[in-house]
Structure 1
Amino acid sequence: MSAANVGLWLYENGGGLHIQNAIVNALKQRDINCITGLNLRDAHARDGHIHCNNILMEELDLFLSYNAGQQTQYQLYLYEAISQSIPTINNFNAFALSEDKFKTSHLLNNHGIITPEYRLCHKNDTDGLKKAIKDWGGKLVYKPTDGWGGAGIVKIEGEQALDMLLPFLSRTDLRYFYLERFIDYDNTDFRIDIVDGQYIGCYGRKAPKDDWKTNITSGGSIFVREPTDELINLAKKAALVTGLEIAGVDLIYDREKERYVVLEVNGIPAFATPEQEKLGLNFNHKKIDAIVNLIDRTVCKSNAKVA
């Protein structure tokens, strides 16, 4: 009988199934059994237990949720409940924080990590919106606090454009607006992967022609990029501050203020796809090893407390 049972929910597209198999096989060598496919969409709760595919989630020694955004509120609700009984990776509190752009930026700034200048405005605070665009030289970016992949992000240039947008915004059910100063940059970024405080790898993303968003879902392309020690240390600090065991830290260079800023901290940074590996992104093995070590140590620590 295995010493521990770990539940997994990993994405399967883009080489994800191969990644999952590698994690399962590596953990098996450490006498840790993996139960895969635990999508909380299929789960239900009753009588003090959460059941998913005939598995009692609270009886697991750890649950690793690693599937990109668009999880429903139901899935996240159960994820949080599970985290109150067993270790989760990423731990739910850090994951929930990383899903909120305002709270992430606010926390990073409180710890001396520079992000784009931001403001959170009540939906009826039109004066605050207009002041922000004036203070930031006529350009700002509106972002949903809980969006991903660049969805819903809008660049607003000039007060006239803002005036045209305000009637639409007033009819939405949003309670507040998260705004960032638009940063003059070269339309490329750094994505730096950190696992358990360890630097894993880096790549760059480039926005498509006539656009400024680097997200792959927005048409951005990936290229090999080497980070400096300064950027690696900055990414490590951002991951530590947010509490994420697994983090993808996005950084860009502000040409106006001549400094790097942390744009976002992602709680589900993708592995390199087979196509990207052919381009030279060769960090998957290192990332798998780091995650396996993290799971092993977390399970042993948790079981030691119970004993």
Structure 2
Amino acid sequence: MGERTIGMWLYQNGGGDIIQKKIIEQLNERGIEVIPNINLRDAIAKNGHILYERDGKNIKLDKLDLFFSYNAGEQTQYQMYLYKALSKVIPMINSFESFELTEDKFHTSFVLRRNKIQTADYKLCHRDDTWQLKKIIKKWDKMVYKPTDGWGGVGLTKIENEETLDMLLPFLNQMDLRFFYVEKFIDYDNSDFRIDIVDGTYVGGYGRRASGTDWRTNVTSGGSVFKREIPDSVIELALNAAKVTGLDIAGVDIIYDRKKEEYIVLEVNGIPAFITPEQEKIGIDYNDKKIELIVDLIDRKTKK
């Protein structure tokens, strides 16, 4: 291996393979060798080392100068377990601590609110205290049940009245959940901002709009992406959210609360996708800037 060697696991769909090639080329120009496509699913831990076989040889991942993990769609609990172990001995992007925080919606909202960053009002209660949910639906009128983990809007359920809640609870109980997390439904215009941050620097942003049949803006839930002017206040809010959560790379989702007349952070994502070729066609194009900032970040973190 070279003077500096990093491991990388970056998603390959949606133009990810092209992004990976550009990152590797720029890192190589700086004398940084890259071992790509390291899926921790195929690694094993043995006697103080985490080993990954490639071309008949065992690579000691714990001896790398850094590991860059960037693949939301193929995560498993085993990978996360090794991710946590690696984060204790080598630099990671993102650190496991920050990644784990932002994978959990309750803990993210808790930390943001503790740092005076506005989020939707929320409530976490034990599964045996469902009376708390009935109490809160009367106060809020509408709320959203959210799995504390997950991405892409999967599992989000809008609860519009107590009857809807009564219908939902049996299904939640069947899932053997230990607690329920709900957020107050925000009166917004069915659009949001996705703001990309790398190493404390604003990279770019765009808008997402819910379809006519769904209230969620996530593309995987039928939402669409559009080019959008980003107000300075939205950028500042996203920068603060990324700083508070400790993420090196962050995608911050922000909406405008029409009732309170203020922007709020809806979610902080530790693996925000790069701009796709389809999105580039409508004028959203800041991948090169994002790549450059990531390369600078890796260079800085691996200097001995």
The alignment's TM-score, normalised by the length of structure 1, stands at 0.96
Q: Any residues of structure 2 matched to 1:1-307 within 5 Å, and which?
A: 2-53=2-53, 54-136=58-140, 138-300=141-303, 303=304
| CA distance in structure 1 between the aligned counterparts of 2:260 and 2:38, rounded to whole angstroms | 46
Structure 1: unaligned runs, 5 residues or longer: none
Instruction: Give how far 1:81 is off.
Output: 0.4
Once residues 38 and 90 of structure 2 are traced to their aligned partners in structure 1, the CA distance between those partners, rounded to angstroms, is 15
| Worse overlay, 247-256 or 170-179 | 170-179
Which whole-Å CA distance do the structure 1 matches of 2:255 and 2:39 have between them? Answer: 34
Taking structure 2 as the reference length, the TM-score comes to 0.97
Unaligned 5+ residue runs, structure 2?
A: none
Distance in 1 (CA, whole Å) between partners of 2:88 and 2:286 is 32
How far off its partner does 1:3 sit?
2.0
Which amino acid in the other structure matches residue 153 of structure 2?
Answer: G
TM-superposition CA deviations, 1:226-252 (whole Å, max 9, x none): 211111111000000000000000000
* Separation in 2, partners of 1:70, 1:35: 18
Task: Count how many residue pairs are aligned between Structure 1 and Structure 2.
Answer: 300
Q: Check the 8 A contact 2:11/2:73 in 1, yes or no.
A: no
Structure 1 residue 299: Cα displacement? 0.5
Instruction: Quickly say closer, same or farther: Cα 1:177–1:184, change in 2 above 3 A.
Output: same
1-structure distance, mates of 2:171, 2:8: 42
Separation in structure 1 between the aligned mates of residue 69 and residue 247 of structure 2, nearest angstrom: 13
- The one-letter amino acid of 2:114's match is N
Q: Distance in 2 between matches of 1:204 and 1:211?
A: 16
Aligned residues with identical type, % of pairs: 62
Deviation at 1:194, TM superposition (A): 0.3
Give the secondary-structure state (helix, strand or coil) at the position aligned to 1:26.
helix
**C-alpha contact (below 8 Å) 1:90/1:244 kept by paired residues:** yes
Contact 2:198–2:248 (8 Å) recurs in 1: yes
C-alpha displacement of 1:132: 1.1
The DSSP-based 3-state class of the residue aligned with 1:145 is: coil
Shift of 1:215: 0.4
Between stretches 271-280 and 108-117, larger displacement belongs to: 271-280
2:281 aligns to what SS in structure 1? helix
Kept in 2, the 8 Å contact 1:123–1:169? The answer is no
